[in-house]
Each structure stands twice: as C-alpha cells, then as structure tokens.
Structure 1
Amino acid sequence: MPTISVYHAQLRRYRPRGPNGGSGGAVANGGGGGAAAPDGTAVGDDDDEAEPPGTSRLYGHTAAVHAVDMTVDQRLILSGSSDGTVRVWGMEFGSCLAVYPGHVFPVWDVASCPLGHWFASGGADRVARLWVSERTAPLRLLVGHSADVDVVRWHPNGTLVGTASADRTLRLWDVREGKCVRYLSGGLYGSPTSMAMSPDGLHLAAGTDEGQVLVWDLGTARRLAASPPAASHSGPVWALCYSNGDGTLLASGGADETVRLWR
C-alpha cells in the first residue's frame, strides 16, 4: 500500500505523538519536503534500520505518491498521488486532515505557498489547480497547457505560481485572477522536468529532459542564459535549487548521476 514516511532533519526518523501519547504517523520535520519514491513511499536518508520498532507511516493514498511538500509553518504536509488526489496531513498526530479530489489523472507535483494557506498542484490532466485549506474544491483552474503539468513552484511573493509542462513551455500565473501573465519557451529544447525561482523573485530556472539548464528574467520574459551542450547534463535534469539569500548559485541534479553548480 502506498505510504509516506518522513524523517527528522538530523536524519533520525521523527515519530509524532499520537492522540494518546503514542506514536502516530511519520511526518517531516524541517524546512522543505521529503522525497517520493516510485513505490509510493516518500523517504528520508535514515535507512540504518529496515523498520525500527514503533515506526509508523502515513497511509491513505491508493496509488503511488509522486510529490510531497511542507507548509512554511511546518504544521502540515502536502502529498500528491497517482490516485488523483492531494492530501493534507497534520504534523502533531500524523493524521490525514483533508483529501482534495479534482485531478482526473495522476498528480505529479504539489507546492505550498510561502505566505500562507494556499497551495498548488499539477498533473497529467494538463491543468494546474490552486487550493485553499478551508475548502476541498479547487479555487482556481490554471488552464492553457497542452500536455502534463509536471512541476509547480510558487514565486517568493506568494501572488504568482509557475508551471512547467511536457508541452515544452513554462508559464507564470496570477493567483488572484487565475490568468497566465508570462509565457516562457524561447530556447527550450525538450520538455522542462524541473524548475526553481530565485529568492529575489527576479529569475526562473528550468531543467529539461535533454539535460539543458536555462534561466529567464521574469520581468521581461527574456532568456538570460542556457547551458552549452558540453556543460549540460547527459540526461534529464530532475532537480534545481537556488542558494538561499542572494541566489547567486544554482544547483542542478540529473539522471547522469551528477550535481552541477552554476553562477
């Protein structure tokens, strides 16, 4: 059965208190989400014991879990699954607090808004959805992509959300209006498989299934840089991350078993 396991930032499995003081489901502690495995389990780095006594996991999804994220206040965990739902889990007891149906096909990514109770999801139904925790129906449908929405990321100001799609485009959406305000595709060879926003909100970076890493200016939608073939990954770029603070470094991780740093 698909499960979610989450680990303490010090690489110890964290077991939240159950309603009677016992161990509840396992949830994440720290800034950011865990990793979702193909077998439906989100895992951390602590694997020195196969299954320590008293360990429990978050059960509820009925198919593979592809994405997890944590709210900025570290009280809730979001998960997206091939069962077409997003679930919200409480940190204190590790219980499922709400199920958000709506996606017709698998949910590939989820992302919590940096400013509060909004969150976003993207999936195989070619639509990104915006949600608020108080209601289980989507508040906005972001329609425009012609293929799977594989990645969703929030702008640091919390009023914009970015989407990356297998249609070989990236879009930036106004959260309040649900309208596309930026369309990025110039110089993008292959489909975007990862995306990151700079801490100052000025730049958007994307990695592709062809190994490229590209950066755009969000104010002008102009492409600023693209990795040359000799420096690009030799396979899909699965992960991107800007350095905290000034965002002068960009890290990429790919299927070619390498991590690369870009300035």
Structure 2
Amino acid sequence: SLQPPKAKPPEESDPPAAKRAPIFYGSLEEKERERLAKGEAGLLGKEGMKAALEAGNINISSGEWGPPWPLFPLGNGTLPNLSGNRLTRDMRRCWDGQLRALGGIQRHSTGTAAWRGRALPLHIPNPPGCIPMPPAPSGCYQQTWYHEGPRSLKTARLWLANYSLPRAAKRLEEARLLKEIPEATRTSQRQELHKSLRSLNNFCSQIGDDRPLSYCHFSPNSKLLATACWSGLCKLWSVPDCNLVHTLRGHSTNVGAVVFHPKATVSLDKKDVSLASCAADGSVKLWNLESDEPMADIEGHSMRVARVMWHPSGRFLGTTCYDHSWRLWDLEAQEEILHQEGHSKGVYDIAFHTDGSLAGTGSAGRAGWGVSPRVWDLRQRKCIYTIPAHQNLVTGVRFEPNHGNFLLTGAYDNTAKIWTHPGWSPLKTLAGHEGKVMGLDISLDGQLIATCSYDRTFKLWTAE
C-alpha cells in the first residue's frame, strides 16, 4: 500500500522560522493589588509559592548548575557540535541574531563548522535570553608545544647544511658572473633561445602502455626516459629512438611517479639504487638498472602516495601522501627522519631546490588546483605573476633545469606550453595529445622535452 511521505526533520541548513509578533494579555499587577486590599494571600506570596512548589511548577536547584549537554574541549564562547537536534537549532538562531548585531555580520554558509568558526574569534558573552554556553574545562586552551625529534634528524640537518651552503655560494658566484656579461650580449642569447623554442616540434611519439601514463622523467645523462602507468608498470625507454629497454614490475595499482636518482647513469653502478616509484596503495619501491624487480620497499604510508622526489644529494627521498603529510627518508640510515604535517588536504607534489636547502610541497583538492600557474618570489613570499595559461586543470610546471630560462606547463586541456622568463610571454604550444597531459619533463642537456598523456602515449619534442 502507498504510504504518505513522512515529514522530513528540519535540517541545520533550514532557514530560521519566521518570528511571530508577541501577544500581550495585560498585567496581573492590578488584580494582585485587589487581592492584597481584600486581605487575601497573593499568588506571589509564601502560600502561592508553596502551592506552586507542591504542584511541581517551580523547581529549586541544589545550587550546582549543570549544562544540558556534555562538556567539550572547545574554548569559551563556542558551541559543541550537536547537529540535528532542536537545542542546537535554537542556540544557533539565538546566536545568529547576536552575530548580526555585531557589525552587521551575515551568515553566508549554513554548515555548522563554518558558523561555529565565525563565532569563535568573537568570544562574546551569552546573549540575554539565550541558552548559556558551556564553560571550557580547565587546561583546554590552545598552546604551542614541541616534542623532541630523533637524533637522526639532527644529524641529517647538519649534513644538509654542509651540503647546501657551498653549493649556494657557488650559485651566487655564478649569478654575479652572469650579471657582468653586457646586457646586449645577454639579450642576444635570450633571443636565440626563444627562436629555438619557437621551432620545437614533435619528432617521436610512442604508445607507452594500454592504460594512461601518469608521469615521465629523464635520466641525468638524458639518454633514458622513465614512464609510470596506471597499469602498475614502470618502463624505461631509450632516447631519442624511443625503444623499450626495461619493464619494472612490482606495483599492483596505479603508479603515481617514477624518478631517477640524481647520479644514476652518470656515476652510479647499474647495481645501485637508481630509481624510486610510488603508487596509489601507499607503496614506495626502489629499483636498479639491471633487474626488473624492486630492490627494496619503503613502508610506512597507509594512504595514496602521489609523488616521490630525490634530494639533489641522492641520500634522501621525499614522499607526499594523501594523509595530509610528506616524509623525508634517509636511505643511508634506512629510516624515516621527518614526518611533516601542515597541509589541510592530501599532499600532491614535492620539489627540492637545486642546492638542497629547500623543499616545496603542494596539496590537492579544489584549493590546490587551477588553470593559471602562479609565479612566487620566495624572498618576498608573495605571488608576483599569474599566467593565464590553460583552459583546464594544470598538472605540472617545470623550469628549465640549468638556468631557469623558460617555464614549461602542462594541463588537462591536452596541451603543454612554454613561457619566457622573465616576462612570462607565450613562446610555443605543444599540441598533439588526444587526452589530458598528465606529466612532463625537460632533459638536463636542455635539448628535449617529454610529455605523457591520458591517451597512453608519450611524446618527445625538440627544436628543428
């Protein structure tokens, strides 16, 4: 049988009920005076009070006030999250009126957390006639606190300082020497570079797998290209002829990234650890150039690992995870030395400064994605330019690795684009993929650009 639809309980997002005009029935003062003039006991006298107590209409407490809800460790003047009951709705409506009275504050979000967060910084007293706020238990105020890190972290930081400071000094000296070159010479060199970049064309296209390719990375000697795939495979390709060299089998789900060790193919032996990869199941694996199977697994992640990146020294490995944190691993000590939190969403990408002194991380989610890459000045700690680059989500950005002379961006609009630096003017659009550009890289010798796509192919681009 058909049943009439049940009335839905009021939600927290429902607008407050319209207030009705109060109805006044007059005062009892005159009648009370008449009773007292006749010598009768007034309703407000002792006999009336006694009668009301016996009838249960007046309750006298023991002197200890207890709130009608459990105490929560929220600071004074905030509300517990008691969503879905009448008490909370009444409290919210009452406090909404008080908030609006303070500077015309308006509610633009109906979520309980957003509303509570708006009341939190005000610390206003309980509005008259409203349900009182629960007092904060002692010891629940927010404080900055520290805990002692492992000794291995201190050792690593001292090692990193000794590694990065000489390289920073060398980088600054090279910048001074570059500044001494006449402006006309530098302008001529920049124009030649721009002319070369405008002539970039696709000279090699290869089907990398039967599933989308998610990442690509050049080897330090620019003679190999590693690709990661959603099939769980990582593959090594010869450059520039794009022939398959190795297939690395070990992951059982989508591979997020595969990256070469900074010294692989240059000074490391083929038996040494030369690559690292990560996958959606939280696995991180290390590989050499001789075997198709992983040399070791790095355990500790319980959620998706989006990216891995080697520190320029090759001693440390950074991993980013969707548990809102990133980690630093010391492969010589074979342990995790840093588990860094601070993001409000899953951490998607990581990069290290060339001298090894800085690490940058980026988080995913709507707040972390966009169609316009931003250029940041780390000294001023602010965005200095926003590039109106793409028509869909940007998936990667890369500076030219040697001198940062240009910027490469890729996006879900199936293209990669090259931009001048300085100036951020468009130089070239690399079009040819039939699906989203998922990854991109620039070879260390500056001669090749690689892009990989959701269309299962990777392409190599070079100047004519």
The answer to whether the superposition gives a TM-score over 0.5 is yes
Q: Given residue 62 of structure 1, which amino acid in structure 2 is its aligned partner?
A: S
In structure 1, distance between residues paired with 2:382 and 2:292:
47
Aligned to 1:241: 441
Q: Where does structure 1 lack aligned partners over 5 or more consecutive residues?
A: 1-9, 14-27, 126-146, 150-165
Q: Given residue 207 of structure 1, which amino acid in structure 2 is its aligned partner?
A: G
Deviation at 1:114, TM superposition (A): 0.9
Deviation at 1:168, TM superposition (A): 0.5
Helix, strand or coil: the match of 1:97? strand
In structure 2, distance between residues paired with 1:249 and 1:29:
16
Aligned to 2:120: none
* Matched ranges for 1:43-58 at <5 A: 43=285, 48=292, 56-58=296-298
Over residues 36-65 of structure 1, what are the superposed CA-to-partner deviations in whole Å (9 max), with x where a residue is unaligned? Answer: 21222234567755x8xxx65322223111
Root-mean-square deviation (CA), in Å?
A: 2.7
Task: Pick the structure with greater CA Rg.
Answer: 2
Deviation at 1:208, TM superposition (A): 1.0
Aligned to 2:395: 193
Over residues 165-191 of structure 1, what are the superposed CA-to-partner deviations in whole Å (9 max), with x where a residue is unaligned? Answer: x221101112222111221114x1211
- Aligned partner (choices 77, 80, 84) of residue 320 of structure 2: 80
In structure 2, distance between residues paired with 1:29 and 1:183:
31
Deviation at 1:148, TM superposition (A): 4.1
Q: Does residue 91 of the first structure (1) align with residue 323 of the second (2)? A: no
Contact preservation (8 Å) 1:250, 1:261? yes
Q: Percent identity?
A: 25
Over residues 64-115 of structure 1, what are the superposed CA-to-partner deviations in whole Å (9 max), with x where a residue is unaligned? Answer: 1111111111111111101111111001132000111101110001111111
Deviation at 1:202, TM superposition (A): 1.3
In structure 1, distance between residues paired with 2:436 and 2:284:
21
Aligned length: 194
* TM-score normalized with structure 2 length: 0.39
Q: Given residue 64 of structure 1, which amino acid in structure 2 is its aligned partner?
A: R
In structure 2, distance between residues paired with 1:83 and 1:116:
25
Q: Does residue 31 of the first structure (1) align with residue 262 of the second (2)? A: yes
Aligned to 2:307: 67
Relative contact order (C-alpha < 8 Å, sep 6+): which is higher?
2
Higher helix residue share: 2
Over 3 Å counting, the alpha-carbon distance change for 1:253 and 1:207 in structure 2 is: same
In structure 2, distance between residues paired with 1:238 and 1:208:
7
In structure 2, distance between residues paired with 1:48 and 1:235:
29
Aligned to 1:261: 460
Aligned to 2:407: 204
Contact preservation (8 Å) 2:419, 2:425? yes
Helix, strand or coil: the match of 1:205? strand
Deviation at 1:249, TM superposition (A): 2.1
Q: Where does structure 2 lack aligned partners over 5 or more consecutive residues?
A: 1-244, 249-258, 264-274
